[in-house]
């Protein structure tokens, strides 16, 4: 094994110390924070958190839309010696119950409207629940303050919950080093600078959504969080705040290309970055036509290792379907089915090595062992690597191309969705006896969710009641686009439900 130098790493909360005092760090709906104000409010929030949760490594969860709390918490929790558990604000009480229980969170801070949807048994007895505004007000009035920490960069800083192909969401453990180096890496290859304004439209509970904040602050730039209702809100925000940097998922890019962009507004953008699904050649062409001055970054990543590759914008027109090459601090190997490094244009599994590799799944040794394995002997870094399960090939020029997933994950509108979680939710209604969830290719969504079910014999009005039940129990992005009702489900030769046959039929 060859040695590979790992760059100097600071504790995560040191990101707040980079920008100039008078520079704008964060533009909220009702306030604008300079870097000096960001540091002051961060130190008070961290001090208050530490006073309420003195046990090192305790988990604190947030369930809120984008605002001051959700923006400051990744750094404040880290400074306080705590572990942040951001919960997607689109999730509903059943998913929140699982995350709180699984993570062992001792505090949940959220918006009152969301907290009001929680039901008996959703919050563990040991978990304190606070409204977002009350928590912020108490933190700023407490008088407690913490300066920049000297935490071990390898200590746990966050747990991000992500869906897998089977079962409930699992928590990916991220260290200070993982998040610091992720911010450094992205800021470097995007070329972010102190005069950049980033419009943060991706959910802050996602790895790249959170990185919108951290990479921009690493460069000393300004972040403008936005929870948009319609795509035109994004265009208006780009105009209002002179936005230079926008990250989005393919469905939003499709919607944005359908707007009538004034040239002076489109001209604000210096860079576009895509995540959460592949760009099509047609979409690349449209984006390049609308924003010819903007550099378009196609990227590939997975929560277990943050981000793996990006395509040099200079190559995107000629190679619109490539996922590019390794990002800084990542080493990507392609391993064939014989366990050897794949030859040029030979298909194999993408294996991510290096310091961006997360620490595994929270309290789940079995699934950690399935995904996190020793790096191939050819790795410069060695240690543990993420064996992604994704099939790729590398051409003679070193460019990587995505071939397909080994598992049955559904990627819809940039969200990773577990088929089993959907099926379990359908069965839990008591209305269906069997269920199969599939992701059918869709031009706008990436995958559209199709649910194939067989009704229980004793079910009352199942075709009318099932959509209602699912709407109550699942977030909007997990709702099936189509529910197919069958008198009998097809069976494969091995005696299982024939998922492959159903997919072939519905995708035709």
Q: What are the pLDDT digits (tens) for 149-206?
A: 999 999 999 999 987 655 678 999 999 999 999 999 999 999 999 999 999 999 999 9
- Lowest average pLDDT, out of 97-101, 143-147, 477-481, goes to 143-147
- Exposure class string for 298-319: b at 16+ Cβ within 10 A, else e: bbbbbbbbbbbbbbebeebeeb
Rounded to two decimals, the pTM is 0.85
Name the one residue in this structure whose structure tokens are 């600071």. Answer: 10
Q: What is the 3-state secondary structure (H, E, C) of 279-319?
A: CCHHHHHHHHHHCCCCEEEEEECCHHHCCCEECCHHHCCCC
Q: What is the total residue count of the chain?
A: 508
DSSP 263: H
* Per-residue confidence (pLDDT) for residue 444, from 0 to 100: 87
The domains located in the chain, with CATH, are: 410-507 (3.30.300.30)
Q: Convert the pLDDT of each residue in 427-447 to its tens digit.
A: 889 999 889 999 999 988 989
* Per-residue confidence (pLDDT) for residue 497, from 0 to 100: 77
Give the rounded distance of the alpha carbon of 478 from its chain centre.
15
Q: Convert the pLDDT of each residue in 39-78 to its tens digit.
A: 999 999 999 999 999 999 999 999 999 999 999 999 999 9
Q: Which token pair is 402?
A: 């995505």
Q: Convert the pLDDT of each residue in 74-92 to its tens digit.
A: 999 999 999 999 999 989 9
Q: Which token pair is 283?
A: 């979409």
Question: How large a percentage of the chain has pLDDT more than 70?
Answer: 96
CB 394 within 8 A of CB 45: no
* Per-residue confidence (pLDDT) for residue 275, from 0 to 100: 84
* Per-residue confidence (pLDDT) for residue 119, from 0 to 100: 94
Q: Which token pair is 314?
A: 């200079």
- Lowest average pLDDT, out of 5-14, 18-27, 259-268, 382-391, goes to 5-14
Strand residues in 167-274 grouped as ranges (E): 170-175, 197-200, 222-225, 245-248, 271-274
pLDDT for 3 beyond 50: no
| Mean per-residue pLDDT of the chain | 93
pLDDT for 1 beyond 60: no
* Per-residue confidence (pLDDT) for residue 95, from 0 to 100: 92
* Per-residue confidence (pLDDT) for residue 2, from 0 to 100: 43
Q: Model confidence at 280, in pLDDT bands (50, 70, 90)?
A: confident
pLDDT for 369 beyond 90: yes
DSSP 495: S
d(CA 102, CA 117): 19
Q: Convert the pLDDT of each residue in 444-493 to its tens digit.
A: 898 999 999 999 889 999 999 999 999 999 999 999 999 999 998 887 65
Number of Cβ within a 10 Å radius of residue 286: 17
Residues 6+ apart with CB under 8 A from 51: 142, 144
* Per-residue confidence (pLDDT) for residue 409, from 0 to 100: 77
* Per-residue confidence (pLDDT) for residue 187, from 0 to 100: 97
d(CA 486, CA 405): 28
Q: Convert the pLDDT of each residue in 383-426 to its tens digit.
A: 999 999 988 999 999 999 988 766 667 889 888 888 878 988 99
How many C-alpha atoms does 269 have within 13 Å on its Cβ side?
27
CB 131 within 8 A of CB 110: yes
Burial of 28 (0-12, 13-18, 19+ CB in 10 A): middle
**Average confidence (pLDDT) over 204-218:** 95
Task: Look at phi and psi of residue 329 and say left if phi exceeds 0, alpha if psi is from -120 to 50, else beta.
Answer: left
pLDDT for 223 beyond 50: yes
């Amino acid at each position: 094994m060859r040695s590979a130098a790992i760059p100097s790493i600071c504790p995560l909360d040191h990101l707040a110390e980079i920008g100039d005092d008078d520079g704008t760090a964060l533009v909220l709906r009702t306030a604008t924070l300079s870097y000096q104000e960001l540091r002051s409010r961060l130190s008070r929030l961290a001090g208050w958190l530490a006073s309420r949760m003195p046990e090192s490594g305790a988990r604190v969860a947030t369930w809120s839309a984008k605002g001051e709390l959700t923006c400051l918490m990744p750094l404040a929790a880290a400074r306080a010696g705590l572990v942040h558990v951001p919960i997607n604000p689109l999730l509903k009480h059943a998913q929140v119950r699982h995350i709180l229980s699984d993570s062992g969170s001792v505090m949940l801070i959220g918006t009152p409207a969301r907290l009001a949807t929680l039901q008996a048994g959703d919050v563990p007895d040991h978990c304190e629940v606070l409204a977002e505004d009350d928590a912020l007000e108490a933190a700023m009035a407490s008088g407690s303050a913490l300066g920049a920490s000297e935490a071990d960069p390898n200590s746990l800083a966050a747990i991000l919950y992500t869906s897998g192909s089977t079962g409930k969401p699992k928590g990916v453990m991220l260290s200070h080093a993982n998040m610091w180096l992720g911010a450094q890496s992205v800021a470097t290859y995007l070329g972010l600078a102190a005069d950049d304004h980033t419009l943060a439209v991706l959910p802050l509970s996602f790895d790249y959504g959170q990185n919108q904040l951290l990479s921009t602050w690493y460069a000393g730039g300004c972040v403008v969080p936005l929870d948009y209702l319609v795509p035109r809100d994004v265009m208006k925000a780009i105009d209002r705040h002179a936005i230079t940097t926008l990250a989005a998922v393919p469905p939003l890019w499709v919607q944005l290309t359908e707007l009538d962009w004034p040239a002076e507004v489109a001209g604000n953008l210096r860079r576009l970055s895509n995540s959460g699904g592949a760009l099509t050649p047609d979409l690349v062409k449209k984006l390049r036509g609308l924003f010819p001055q903007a550099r378009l970054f196609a990227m590939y990543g997975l929560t277990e290792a943050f981000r793996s590759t990006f395509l040099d914008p200079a190559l995107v027109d000629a190679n619109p379907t490539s996922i590019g090459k390794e990002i800084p601090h990542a080493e990507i190997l392609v391993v064939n089915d014989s366990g050897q490094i794949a030859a040029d244009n030979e298909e194999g599994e993408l294996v991510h090595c290096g310091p961006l590799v997360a620490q595994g799944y929270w309290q789940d040794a079995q699934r950690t062992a399935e995904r996190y394995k020793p790096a191939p002997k050819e790795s410069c870094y060695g240690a543990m690597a993420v064996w992604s399960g994704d099939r790729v090939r590398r051409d003679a020029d070193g460019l990587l191309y995505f071939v397909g997933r080994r598992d049955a994950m559904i990627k819809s509108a940039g969200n990773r969705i577990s088929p089993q979680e959907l099926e379990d939710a359908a069965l839990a209604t008591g209305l269906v006896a069997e269920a199969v969830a599939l992701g059918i290719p869709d031009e706008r969504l990436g995958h559209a969710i199709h649910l194939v079910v067989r009704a229980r014999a004793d079910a009352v009005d199942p075709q009318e009641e099932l959509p209602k039940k699912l709407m109550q129990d699942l977030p909007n992005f997990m709702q099936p686009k189509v529910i197919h009702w069958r008198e009998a489900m097809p069976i494969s030769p091995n005696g299982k439900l024939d998922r492959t046959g159903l997919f072939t039929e519905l995708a035709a």
